[in-house]
Amino acid sequence: MEKVKKKVIFSGIQPSGCLTLGNYIGALKNWIKLQDEYNCCFSVVDLHSLTVRQDPKELRRRCMDFLVQYIACGLDPEKNLLFFQSHVSTHAELAWILNCYTYMGELSRMTQFKDKSAKHEDNINSGLFTYPVLMASDILLYQTDLVPVGSDQKQHLEIARDIALRFNHIYGETFTVPEGYIPEVGARIMSLQEPTKKMSKSDDNENAFIALLDSPDVIRRKVKRAVTDSDNEIRFAEGKDGINNLLSIYSSLSGKNMQQTEEHFADKGYGQLKEEVAEVVVESLRPIQEKYKQMMNDKDYVQQIYTASAEKALSISSRTLKKVYKKVGFVPKN
């Protein structure tokens, strides 16, 4: 019988700051859910992180830390390719080509570019501007079908699709046109301190996010301090950003849908809500933190994983790059 080829997933997180509950609920949790059904590539997208100034020593440490946390969260190294983007040269190579098929106008509309250039006024570099093209290359190199991300990445996904369609239109079928996979609840976890802003791992205020490696005490303290409102009514409603956020976190981690979550908290107060949210977060992160500690003692194993994965990733992605080089008219090497 003919074997049905599994569809392909690509996703990545940039190693800036530390992995947060937003990254986990918006992205990682779905990666874990989908890993059996798809051929998956999950990358620590270190090239992307250079768009904001990084301390080299700190970046190196953080990259390793991210990869170990991917595994600790439940990504199986036997089933998935887990690698550093900078180890696979095709990403940067395809990005150059695709830059020539992306318009300044399209890139100027990206809200992440606008936000980040406002935040880093002294370093509005061209990498920050062309960032979505590198992301499109990551995705298109593997003929990716599905990209599991949080909702803040919708615009970047749309541009990746547009670039693929444009290239295919000019040169004939070259790239698979990818679809996004965005969770129903928790696609945008908000800052605990300013619940109208998304929870971000590079927030200067540590109370705004929960890191996957925060201790139970720190988690409880941060949730307790989370900004809510003054009407003391637990329901998911417009304008109740702080409460909506806590309910989303609870719903996503407890497995109860939003209606069941609201019912669960009917007649309870904000104090109780915060206590239960803190507990579900602590309990969800406990096994991850334990596995993380174990894996940090086995660096050789981790190195084997990212080295072997990068080798395979290079081999798969080189096929696409070769095809692209041929289509645009470069002289073949051999």
In the block, tokens 């949210």 appear at: 277
Q: Using the rule CB under 6 A, is 22 a contact of ligand ATP?
A: yes
Structure-token pair, residue 63: 């990259």
Size of the site for ligand ATP (CB under 6 A): 22
Q: Using the rule CB under 6 A, is 161 a contact of ligand LTN?
A: no
**Catalytic-labelled residue, pool 5, 57, 198, 323:** 198
Shortest CB 215 distance to ligand ATP, Å: 20
Task: State yes or no: is 33 an active-site residue.
Answer: no
Q: Using the rule CB under 6 A, is 14 a contact of ligand LTN?
A: yes
Residues 191-210 interacting with ligand ATP (rule: CB under 6 A): 198-202
Residue 76: Cβ within 10 Å count: 12
Task: State yes or no: is 154 an active-site residue.
Answer: no
Q: Using the rule CB under 6 A, is 17 a contact of ligand ATP?
A: yes
Residue 289: Cβ within 10 Å count: 17
Q: Phi, psi at residue 333, to the nearest 5°?
A: -65, -40
Rounded-to-integer distance, Cα 66 and Cα 77, Å: 14
User: Which of 20/174 has CB closer to ligand ATP?
Assistant: 20
Rounded-to-integer distance, Cα 89 and Cα 174, Å: 19
Q: Using the rule CB under 6 A, is 154 a contact of ligand ATP?
A: no
Shortest CB 244 distance to ligand ATP, Å: 13
If we measure between CA atoms, which residue out of 255, 259, 245 comes closest to residue 22? 245
Can you tell me whether residue 232 is helix, strand or coil? Answer: coil
Q: Report which residue type is found at 199.
A: M
Of 10, 84, 113, 167, the one binding ligand LTN by CB under 6 A = 10
Confirm if 196 and 190 have CB atoms less than 8 A apart. yes
User: Which of 204/300 has CB closer to ligand LTN?
Assistant: 204
User: Which of 225/268 has CB closer to ligand ATP?
Assistant: 225
Q: Using the rule CB under 6 A, is 152 a contact of ligand ATP?
A: yes
Q: Using the rule CB under 6 A, is 132 a contact of ligand ATP?
A: no
Residue 272: Cβ within 10 Å count: 12
In the block, tokens 């904001």 appear at: 52
Q: Using the rule CB under 6 A, is 156 a contact of ligand LTN?
A: yes
Q: Using the rule CB under 6 A, is 12 a contact of ligand LTN?
A: yes
